[in-house]
Amino acid sequence: MAQAEASGLTLDDLADPCEKFGVTPQALLNALSISLAECYLQGTLTYAFCDGVLNGLIDAIVDVGMSRDLPQPAFSLYQAFDQGEWRRSDDPPETDPGEKYVKPLVLQIMRKLRD
């Protein structure tokens, strides 16, 4: 995850772990994004770290989507974390966009997975 946050990952970067664990890139991206979301909601990973990792995974997510459906929930979680990258003009200065916008979206996505 640190490499994803620091420099991003491509589909080529995922080939070895996919082969090692016998999973598709789509399954690996979904598993990583779900793990990030769970850790974020538990408070063991920060918003900034999770957002950075998902930003680093987006190229691989989109590449998978070029030949198949976009991996879900990986893409939805990327979009949810993206909502915390800025304050809205009508938000007071003390507003935490991660708490106000990201957390409710992540909770909603994770609830849908459990249903």
Give tens-digit pLDDT for 13-25.
Answer: 999 999 999 999 9
Q: What is the pLDDT of residue 1?
A: 62
Lowest average pLDDT, out of 1-5, 73-77, 111-115, goes to: 1-5
What per-residue confidence (pLDDT) applies to 7? 67
In 3D, which of 88, 95, 74 has the Cα closest to residue 28? 74
How many whole angstroms from its chain centre is CA 98?
Answer: 13
Average pLDDT (85-103) is 93
User: Tens digit of pLDDT for each residue in 23-82?
Assistant: 999 999 999 999 999 999 999 999 999 999 999 999 999 999 998 889 999 999 999 999
CA separation for the pair 83, 31 (Å, rounded)? 21
pLDDT of residue 56: 93
Closest alpha carbon to 65 in 41, 22, 103, 30: 30
- DSSP state letter for 44: S
To the question of pTM greater than 0.75 for the whole model, the response is: yes
- Tokens, residue 31: 């598993």
CB-CB contact of 109 with 77 (8 Å): yes
